[in-house]
């Protein structure tokens, strides 16, 4: 079965770049129809959509974060990544990677367990 696992530093300094990787097992990141997505949850808050990358490189970013985001796909490692630059304390959150129902970008059927990222000096 498909599994996703986030990895990356748990602590990032303000103004630096947050870099996370999601490793996919049980499926190919080059599968047609899968939108590889990132979602975060601030402490005590609801879920916030970050965006997705398609295996071809097509991306969609949340307009509120668009100027600070870059996503990429690593087909040889079967991974996809998130870079969020110029971070502040407001970026402290649990970050989830997820994939979607095939050929859908709005239904997240497989999620990772999440990784906690704290922005602090």
Partner 1 sequence: QSVLTQPPSVSAAPGQKVTISCSGSSSNIGNFYVSWYQHLPGTAPKLLIYDNNQRPSGIPDRFSGSLSGTSAILGITGLQPGDEADYYCGTWHSSQGAVFGGGTKLTVL
Point out which residues bind partner 1 (CB under 8 A): 4, 37, 39, 45-49, 51, 60-64, 96, 98, 101, 105-114
Q: What is the Cα–Cα distance from 56 to 84, expressed in whole angstroms?
A: 21
- Rank residues 85 and 94 by Cβ distance to partner 1 and give the closer one: 94
In whole angstroms, how close is the CB of 12 to partner 1 at the nearest point? 21
- Rank residues 13 and 104 by Cβ distance to partner 1 and give the closer one: 104
Q: How many CB atoms lie within 10 A of CB 3?
A: 13
In whole angstroms, how close is the CB of 20 to partner 1 at the nearest point? 15
In whole angstroms, how close is the CB of 43 to partner 1 at the nearest point? 11
Phi and psi dihedrals of 91, rounded to 5? -95, 0
In whole angstroms, how close is the CB of 109 to partner 1 at the nearest point? 5
What end-to-end distance do the CA atoms of the chain give, in Å?
39
- Rank residues 11 and 47 by Cβ distance to partner 1 and give the closer one: 47
- Rank residues 8 and 16 by Cβ distance to partner 1 and give the closer one: 8
């Amino acid at each position: 079965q498909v599994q996703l696992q986030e990895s990356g530093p748990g602590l990032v300094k303000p103004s630096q770049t947050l870099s996370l990787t999601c490793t996919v097992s049980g499926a190919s990141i080059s599968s047609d129809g899968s939108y590889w997505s990132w979602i975060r949850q601030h402490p005590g808050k609801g879920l916030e959509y970050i965006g997705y990358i398609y295996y071809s490189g097509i991306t969609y970013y949340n307009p509120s974060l668009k100027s600070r985001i870059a996503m990429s796909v690593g087909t040889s490692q079967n991974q996809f990544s998130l870079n969020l630059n110029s971070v502040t304390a407001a970026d402290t959150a649990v970050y989830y990677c997820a994939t979607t129902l095939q050929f859908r970008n709005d239904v997240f059927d497989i999620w990772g367990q999440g990784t906690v990222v704290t922005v602090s000096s």
